[in-house]
Structure 1
Amino acid sequence: MSKNNELVDDLVAKLKRRQLVGSSTVAQATLKLLIVVISKNNWTTCNQLVTLVKSVGRRLVQANPTELAVGNIIRRVLHVIREEFREAESIASHMDQNETHSAPLTTSSSMYNLLGETGSTPAEKNVQYPSSLRSNIIQEIREIKDELENIYENIKNQASLQIHSNEIIMTVGRSKTVEEFLKMAAVKRKFQVLVAESAPSYSGQEMALELSKAGIETTVIPDSAVFAVMSRVNKVILGTHAVLANGGLVAISGTHMMAAAAKHHSIPVVVCTGLYKLSPLYPYDEDSFNVTFNPDSVLGFEEGDLIEKVTVTNPYYDYVSPDFVNLFITNQGGHPPSYLYRLIVENYDPNDHTFDL
């Protein structure tokens, strides 16, 4: 257990210090840790395992609340655990009914015992479940890990259906998912890309460089020019840091401005994202999902007297309303914002939307 604690402490420290950032990176690190935690700890009931995973998840989420992918992965794993225990309970109930003809074990009593609701162990109530339950859960988690590793492949394969020849595409900043999406589209289509530079990080310049290396005609534009050139654009393709339950986005600063300009000009907005970024949380307080960086890159100390007269904030993310999004391209296909609630139901258990015990 001490070794497990060391691994948890190490990941918590990296999240707090922002040594580990980015949805994909933190999601994979979280899955790797959970595999060890579930494999090495002793547990016999669903409640015991759920409590263990939630306790780890709570620490990770509190370490960096803006990395929503951590909580999403914890919830996905909890959903897998509950499903595997339900299946094991069904098998155990069926076996008991076959073995005890005179007094068959009811489904409800068997389930409550297996899920740990009564506080009794399976042995105490003669409830048996497959000895492979632990390995089944680990295998399901590994499948989630494989899903993460194939995210880009599954999303970019839909590129040729969304981008047509001679179109002008606009995007903002640098998103690995969007980058792979556009590169795949360029294999069969010839189009132009306008990239907003996303000051003060200027990650859009990096994006433009990578796209140009792939032979895509790319132009970098200042953020202030987005509205002016939007009328020439055929489609806006965006990446995102997280997708909230209402279909809203937590995306790099500048995304809201671009999405609003697109809506004004009736330009479709397409968001490329893996389902692991889909969170069951609602934006009751939009600022709680943001993080502010050093304002020196916006207004440096060399400005002298001006610094004392103004307050400068440098938010890293924007909240984008679902009204600005037309389509989500995920690793499981394309979905409108109104369909996201179905994906949340399929991937998360309502009991796990928060980590309160």
Structure 2
Amino acid sequence: MSKGTNDLVDILVAKLKRRQLVGSSAVAQATLKLLIVVISKNNWSKANDLLNLVRSVGQRLIEANPTELAIGNIVRRVLHVIREEFRDAEASSKSDDNSEFQSVPLTTSSSMYNLLSETGSDDKEFTHASSNLRSDIIQEVRDIRIELDTIYENIKNQATNHIHSNEIIMTIGRSRTVEEFLKMASSKRKFHVLVAETAPSYLGQQMALELSKAGIEATMIPDSAVFAVMSRVNKVILGTHAVLANGGLVAISGTHMMAAAAKHHSIPVVVCTGLYKLSPLYPHDEDSFNVVMNPDAVLGFEEGDLMEKVIVTNPYYDYVSPEFVNLFITNQGGHPPSYLYRLIVENYDPNDHTFDPLA
């Protein structure tokens, strides 16, 4: 890796470690911007060299802040692009070579054999050079960047299909995706939004304020009132920090309580999220995805006598099981939790689900 590129990696690693860069969207944008530089500014002649280079950069970024799952998702998307572009280039090259010696088209059985052999391949096949590979990969990665730029637009354009007039909607915390979604729906529908205050961060207060400024009738409720008023709600709309491979959510603390209350009252739960938040990881250890914040917001230091007798934890995220979610609204349309496995197959290569040590 060139010195200039390595310096850029160090800068982003430092920002992630110090939490100067937070939020899935900002982290994804920064990661993709860096990987474009890594691909374009470094010398590599074979696709396998580039795979190892991108994987090593991705490993450093993930280790800097393991709870920002969007980093790994973007790195895996880029690795998938590299593999796909190489396979296309190699298939085109083989097709040209075969055309010189064969005038008879390939049979269906041989084509299927080639397809299966490519699908089951590993990094050992990525050793041949391709003259146009660099420009093709950069163009595809830039297409991912365009996708990130238009995510909010694509999701909010589906709002009127899911929100109807005079409905009572409940949400929690402040999610830009949900905020844009509700604002778009309010241009054609009149509805009421109940926002849980999300103590101790109180992001729900900011959400209620922004919705009110947009002309939406919004009421902030304490977290303790969620179950009590859930029976009057028509729909729960949630944002999320990440979506795991089984359809579970890593979302702001309090989301699990709201989703469980909705399931008890048979209220549909809709999650608005971009596909860049979809991770191929499974929740084998739910705590590994969480962030523990300063407990002072829950129990202040002035309660000195009590603090000596208790242990206080202030988790920032909840894990929400997939059975609590009815529908995911993504930038590529609406999908049930059972369909997420297909989206993972389309966007990530099985070889990249975990970052193994480089050979």
Give the shorter-chain TM-score range. Answer: over 0.9
Instruction: Give the Cα–Cα distance (whole angstroms) in 2 for the partners of residues 214 and 119 of structure 1.
Output: 52
| 1:121 Cα offset (Å) | 5.2
| Aligned: 1:277 with 2:284 | no
Retained in 2: the 8 A contact 1:326–1:337? yes
Corresponding residue SS for 2:194: strand
| Aligned: 1:314 with 2:321 | no
Task: Please name the residue that 1:117 is paired with.
Answer: 124
1:21-60 to structure 2, matched below 5 A, reads 21-60=22-61
Task: Please name the residue that 1:343 is paired with.
Answer: 343
Task: Please name the residue that 1:125 is paired with.
Answer: none
| 1:214 Cα offset (Å) | 0.5
Task: Please name the residue that 1:139 is paired with.
Answer: 139
Counterpart AA for 1:28: Q
Counterpart AA for 1:258: M
| Aligned: 1:333 with 2:340 | no
Distance 1:119 1:19, change over 3 A: closer
Instruction: Give the Cα–Cα distance (whole angstroms) in 2 for the partners of residues 289 and 304 of structure 1.
Output: 31
Counterpart AA for 1:212: S
Retained in 2: the 8 A contact 1:48–1:116? no
Counterpart AA for 1:69: A
Counterpart AA for 1:24: S
Distance 1:79 1:250, change over 3 A: same
Task: Please name the residue that 1:259 is paired with.
Answer: 259
Corresponding residue SS for 1:270: strand
Corresponding residue SS for 1:312: coil
**Deviation string for 1:242-261 (max 9, x for gaps)?**
00000000000000000000
| Aligned: 1:63 with 2:64 | yes
Retained in 2: the 8 A contact 1:167–1:192? yes
Retained in 1: the 8 A contact 2:47–2:127? no
Task: Please name the residue that 2:176 is paired with.
Answer: 176
**Deviation string for 1:114-143 (max 9, x for gaps)?**
x97379654xxxxxx4x3221110011011
Corresponding residue SS for 1:59: helix
Task: Please name the residue that 1:250 is paired with.
Answer: 250
Counterpart AA for 2:295: P
Counterpart AA for 1:282: Y
Counterpart AA for 1:11: L
Instruction: Give the Cα–Cα distance (whole angstroms) in 2 for the partners of residues 8 and 48 of structure 1.
Output: 18
**Deviation string for 1:262-290 (max 9, x for gaps)?**
00010000000000000000000000000
Corresponding residue SS for 1:204: helix
Deviates more, 1:169-178 or 1:132-141: 132-141
The alignment of Structure 1 onto Structure 2 pairs a total of residues equal to: 343
Task: Please name the residue that 2:161 is paired with.
Answer: 161
| 1:230 Cα offset (Å) | 0.5
Counterpart AA for 1:213: K
Distance 1:26 1:308, change over 3 A: same
| 1:95 Cα offset (Å) | 2.8
Instruction: Give the Cα–Cα distance (whole angstroms) in 1 for the partners of residues 92 and 230 of structure 2.
Output: 59
| Aligned: 1:210 with 2:210 | yes
Instruction: Give the Cα–Cα distance (whole angstroms) in 2 for the partners of residues 118 and 136 of structure 1.
Output: 19
Retained in 1: the 8 A contact 2:48–2:127? no
Task: Please name the residue that 1:190 is paired with.
Answer: 190
**Deviation string for 1:14-46 (max 9, x for gaps)?**
111111000000000000000000001111222
| 1:73 Cα offset (Å) | 0.3
Instruction: Give the Cα–Cα distance (whole angstroms) in 2 for the partners of residues 13 and 320 of structure 1.
Output: 31
Instruction: Give the Cα–Cα distance (whole angstroms) in 1 for the partners of residues 128 and 169 of structure 2.
Output: 59
Identity of counterpart residues, as a percentage?
A: 79
Task: Please name the residue that 1:126 is paired with.
Answer: none
Mark the runs of 5 or more structure 1 residues left unpaired by the alignment: 123-128
TM-score using structure 1 length = 0.93
Counterpart AA for 1:55: S
CA RMSD of aligned residues (A): 1.9
Instruction: Give the Cα–Cα distance (whole angstroms) in 2 for the partners of residues 271 and 247 of structure 1.
Output: 11
Corresponding residue SS for 1:14: helix
Retained in 1: the 8 A contact 2:192–2:217? yes
Mark the runs of 5 or more structure 2 residues left unpaired by the alignment: 103-109
| 1:144 Cα offset (Å) | 0.4
Instruction: Give the Cα–Cα distance (whole angstroms) in 2 for the partners of residues 85 and 192 of structure 1.
Output: 51
Retained in 1: the 8 A contact 2:47–2:128? no
TM-score using structure 2 length = 0.92
**Deviation string for 1:145-188 (max 9, x for gaps)?**
00001000000011001000000000001000000000000000
Task: Please name the residue that 2:107 is paired with.
Answer: none
Instruction: Give the Cα–Cα distance (whole angstroms) in 2 for the partners of residues 314 and 259 of structure 1.
Output: 20
